[in-house]
Amino acid sequence: MAEQLTPMQIAQSQLRAAANKLNLEDSVLEMLLEPQRVVCVRIPVKMDDGTTKVFNGYRSQHSTAIGPAKGGLRFHPGVNLDEVKALSFWMTFKCGVLGLPYGGGKGGIEVDPKKLSRGELERLSRGYVRALADVLGSNKDIPAPDVNTNNQVMSWMLDEYSVINRQTDFGMVTGKPILLGGSKGRNEATGRGAVVTLLEALTKLKMDIKGRTVAIQGFGNVGSVAADLLWELGAKIVAISDISGGIYNQDGIDIKALLEHTAQSEYVSGFAGAIQMPGDQVFELPVDIVIPAALENVLTEKNAPKVKAKIVLEIANGPTTPKADEIMAKNGVLVLPDILSNAGGVTVSYFEWVQNNYGYYWSEDEVNDRLTKKMQESFATVWDMMQENQVDMRTAAYMVSVQRISEAIKLRGIV
Q: Is 276:253 a contact under the CB 8 Å cutoff?
A: no
- Region 237-254: what's the mean pLDDT? 96
Calpha distance 107→109 (Å, rounded): 7
Please confirm, yes or no, whether 374 is among the known catalytic residues. Answer: no
Compute the residue count for the chain: 415
Show Cβ contacts of residue 35 under 8 Å, excluding neighbours closer than 6 positions.
60, 61, 62, 63, 85, 88, 89
pLDDT tens-digit series, residues 261-279 = 999 998 999 999 999 999 9
pLDDT of residue 52: 98
pLDDT of residue 366: 98
pLDDT tens-digit series, residues 108-121 = 999 999 999 999 99
DSSP 241-267: EETTEEEE-TT---HHHHHHHHHHHSS
Neighbours of 234 (CB within 10 A): 12
Query: Picking from 56-60, 82-86, 361-365, which range would have the lowest pLDDT averaged per residue?
Result: 82-86
Cα torsion 69, 189, 74, 16: sign: negative
Label residues 323-360 b or e (16+ Cβ within 10 Å = b): bbbebbbeeebbbbbbbbbbbbbbbbbbbbbebbeeee
Residue 281 DSSP class? G
* 406: phi then psi, degrees, rounded to nearest 5: -65, -35
- Region 171-176: what's the mean pLDDT? 97
Rounded to the nearest 10 degrees, what angle do helices 255-265 and 221-232 cross at? 160
pLDDT at 3 over 90: no
Q: Is 130:116 a contact under the CB 8 Å cutoff?
A: no
Q: How confident is the model at residue 5 (pLDDT cuts 50, 70, 90)?
A: confident
pLDDT tens-digit series, residues 146-162 = 989 999 999 999 999 99
- Region 76-85: what's the mean pLDDT? 95
Residue 50 DSSP class? S
pLDDT tens-digit series, residues 12-58 = 999 999 999 999 999 999 999 999 999 999 999 999 999 999 999 99
pLDDT of residue 2: 52
pLDDT at 298 over 80: yes
Q: Is 234 helix (H, G, I), strand (E, B) or coil?
A: coil
pLDDT at 317 over 70: yes
DSSP 301-314: TTTGGG---SEEE-
Torsion angle (degrees, nearest 10) of CA 155, 156, 158, 161: 180
Mean pLDDT taken over the chain: 96
pLDDT of residue 21: 95
Domains of the chain: 36-180 (3.40.50.10860), 189-341 (3.40.50.720)
Q: Is 106:71 a contact under the CB 8 Å cutoff?
A: yes
- Region 355-359: what's the mean pLDDT? 96
> In angstroms, how far is CA 388 from the centroid of its own chain?
27
Calpha distance 91→120 (Å, rounded): 29
Query: Active site residue: 106, 176, 184, 374, which one?
Result: 106
pLDDT at 1 over 50: no
Q: Is 185:371 a contact under the CB 8 Å cutoff?
A: yes
pLDDT of residue 296: 84
pLDDT at 228 over 90: yes
- Region 173-195: what's the mean pLDDT? 97
Q: Is 125 helix (H, G, I), strand (E, B) or coil?
A: helix
Label residues 32-55 b or e (16+ Cβ within 10 Å = b): beebbeebebebebeeeeeeeeeb
